[in-house]
Structure 1
Amino acid sequence: MSQALDTPSPPAAPSAPAEDPAVLAARYGLTVSGARPTLPAYVGQLWQRRHFITAFATAKLTSQYSQAKLGQVWQVATPLLNAAVYYFIFGVLMGTKRNVPDYVPFLVTGVFVWTFTQSSVMAGTRAISGSLGLVRALHFPRASLPISYCLQQLQQLLFSMCALFVILLCFGVPPALSWVLVIPALTLQFTFNTGLALVMARMGAKTPDIAQLMPFLLRTWMYVSGVMWSIDKMLSGKDLPHIVLVLLQANPAAIYIDLMRFALIDSFHASQLPPHVWLWATGWALLSGVGGFIYFWKAEETYGRG
């Protein structure tokens, strides 16, 4: 009896080594939640949601003035009122209109085109930080938000363009074949605005306070972009450093404004455009559009966290 109790138990069989979790996850097709997809896959996801982006932009545009009695009239009235204020201050009080033919069409075109860029940048700055509920509740490529906001601003500009055409006709600017140039000019500007909005969306998601700083930066940018005055006329005969002239001529906002004026106003001649203006416009659009998209994509997995 004691011998049976004292008999040692056989040694336990060695356990199999645990399999690497990464290998196990790959075997069953599991991925990290919220991981950043590859750039081609990300582009594909955005294309699959193109209808959502368009519908979201249209819905935001429709609801923007839903509480106002005049409703969508404010889409056109707001930039027109801004143009009226600038006309009184810069055109009448400062006498800028004396040096610029067709000053009212010149000014209104500049205001409308600048408003497109300004609104796109401001909307992009708040695209992620102002939509955290949507970002945290649903899984979708976050670039959909700043792109849809820029598309909303483009739709609003197209409404304003109808009023702009009426203003041009009322002030004696006849329709011309050059009006077709509005299409490539707006396409390049939309690409530039979207890239800039993507950059600001990532910065605004990390530092929401940047939205409070942007109005001051945008106002400064507006004053050096020739919205209310002709850069060509103001710089004529001025002995300025060459670098200042280059910066003013290479200013992307001024380039897109001048392209629209050249397309629409017959008194705005090609000699008033910066050298190689279409190359500048295309270069800015590619740099901002492609660079801004990649910059935003690199932080895809961080949006809505923290």
Structure 2
Amino acid sequence: MSQTLTRPVPAAPADPDPRALAERYGLSVSGRRPSLPSYVRQLWARRHFISAFSSAKLTAQYSQAKLGQLWQVVTPLLNALVYFLIFGLLLGTSRGVDDYIPFLVTGVFIFTFTQSSVLAGTRAISGNLGLVRALHFPRACLPISFCLMQLKQLLFSMGVLVVIVLAFGIAPGWSWLLAIPALCLQFVFNTGLAMIMARLGSKTPDLAQLMPFILRTWMYASGVMYSISHVTKGKDIPGFVHFLLDVNPAAIYIDLMRFALIDSFHADKLPHHVWPMALGWAVVMGLVGFVYFWKAEERYGRG
């Protein structure tokens, strides 16, 4: 009786681990969020793109208007004129405020800087989906570029503000140099807030329709058209309301600029510890906004 010898069949090789295989050949997941230090380095490497993109957006903003770039100055001036007629003359908020027109124009210009930065940041991702989906770059370039664009626009307006201040007999002084650190701190604060709004706006585009109402309410509480210290003086206002008015970042940056440029706006009209609060708002909002935006880096432009 014959016996059939069978040779053992070797087992099929196990499927290689995709992760191990990818690591062996130096591959990584497409669109994966980089580490925070790597993300900062990528942003720094694209600093020229950020500057050029902001300049191009600023130039294109009024390219169809006959006055062109003059609208960068005309628009806030027209707003200041409207506020002067309504609040300064009709409602009498100019009473008790020295140099009211420089006071008002400074408030309008500085708050417009924050307002425009927040609105632009809200639409930074949702309004540029084609660019986000077509090219690979750190998405934080967009809100930073839009805030830089608003800073450049403010610098145009500051030239007009200086002319207005001089026209009212306010001579230049060493205090004018304080405008530089005040604007730098406000820019960092605006950028951090714009990054927060960019992430929220990327998932909820309707937020862009709601923000003008929120920002208008913020403006009315920031002393743009009136002096907060003058209005609240001698009035029975709850302590927490006083606290909110004192720590309001928009009012802080407005008051710092008024203190720097207007001689009649003395230090006693500033909140206590105003410079530490301005620095604190800039550092906290800048870091929180940057990290919050970076956390969702791989999700922008998807879905």
TM value normalised by structure 2:
0.98
Q: Does 1:75 align with 2:72?
A: yes
What are structure 1's unaligned runs of at least 5 residues?
none
Match of 1:303 in 2: 300
| C-alpha separation in 2, matches of 1:116 and 1:237 | 32
Q: Counterpart of 2:111 in structure 1: which amino acid?
A: W
Q: Counterpart of 1:250 in structure 2: which amino acid?
A: V
Match of 1:23 in 2: 20
| C-alpha separation in 2, matches of 1:7 and 1:157 | 93
Alignment of 1:1-306 (within 5 A): 7=4, 9-306=6-303
Using the TM superposition, give the Cα deviation of residue 229 of structure 1 relative to its aligned residue in structure 2, in angstroms: 0.2
| C-alpha separation in 2, matches of 1:173 and 1:236 | 26
Using the TM superposition, give the Cα deviation of residue 18 of structure 1 relative to its aligned residue in structure 2, in angstroms: 2.5
Q: Counterpart of 1:42 in structure 2: which amino acid?
A: Y
Using the TM superposition, give the Cα deviation of residue 7 of structure 1 relative to its aligned residue in structure 2, in angstroms: 4.2
| 3-state SS, counterpart of residue 12 of structure 2 | coil
Using the TM superposition, give the Cα deviation of residue 17 of structure 1 relative to its aligned residue in structure 2, in angstroms: 2.6
Report the structure number with the largest CA radius of gyration: 1
| C-alpha separation in 1, matches of 2:218 and 2:11 | 72
| C-alpha separation in 1, matches of 2:302 and 2:120 | 20
Using the TM superposition, give the Cα deviation of residue 93 of structure 1 relative to its aligned residue in structure 2, in angstroms: 0.5
Using the TM superposition, give the Cα deviation of residue 173 of structure 1 relative to its aligned residue in structure 2, in angstroms: 1.1
CA RMSD of aligned residues (A): 1.1
Using the TM superposition, give the Cα deviation of residue 172 of structure 1 relative to its aligned residue in structure 2, in angstroms: 1.0
How big is each residue's C-alpha offset from its partner over 1:24-49, in whole Å with a ceiling of 9 and x where there is no partner? Answer: 10010100010000000000000000
How big is each residue's C-alpha offset from its partner over 1:61-104, in whole Å with a ceiling of 9 and x where there is no partner? Answer: 01100000000010000000000000000001011112100000
Using the TM superposition, give the Cα deviation of residue 301 of structure 1 relative to its aligned residue in structure 2, in angstroms: 0.4
Pick which of 12-21 and 134-143 moved more. Answer: 12-21
| 3-state SS, counterpart of residue 19 of structure 1 | coil
| C-alpha separation in 1, matches of 2:158 and 2:6 | 91
**How high is the sequence identity, in percent, across the aligned residues?**
70
Q: Counterpart of 1:138 in structure 2: which amino acid?
A: L
| C-alpha separation in 1, matches of 2:92 and 2:210 | 31
Number of residues of Structure 1 aligned to a counterpart in Structure 2: 303
Q: Counterpart of 2:69 in structure 1: which amino acid?
A: Q
| C-alpha separation in 1, matches of 2:301 and 2:148 | 22
| C-alpha separation in 2, matches of 1:210 and 1:183 | 32
| C-alpha separation in 2, matches of 1:18 and 1:65 | 59
How big is each residue's C-alpha offset from its partner over 1:112-150, in whole Å with a ceiling of 9 and x where there is no partner? Answer: 000000000000000000000000000000000000000
Q: Counterpart of 2:8 in structure 1: which amino acid?
A: P
| 3-state SS, counterpart of residue 148 of structure 1 | helix
Pick which of 142-151 and 17-26 moved more. Answer: 17-26
How big is each residue's C-alpha offset from its partner over 1:139-177, in whole Å with a ceiling of 9 and x where there is no partner? Answer: 000000000000000000000000000000111111111
| 3-state SS, counterpart of residue 47 of structure 1 | helix
Using the TM superposition, give the Cα deviation of residue 205 of structure 1 relative to its aligned residue in structure 2, in angstroms: 0.2
| C-alpha separation in 1, matches of 2:300 and 2:222 | 33
Q: Counterpart of 2:39 in structure 1: which amino acid?
A: Y
Q: Structure 1 stretches (4+) deviating beyond 6 angstroms?
A: none
| 3-state SS, counterpart of residue 272 of structure 2 | coil
What are structure 2's unaligned runs of at least 5 residues?
none
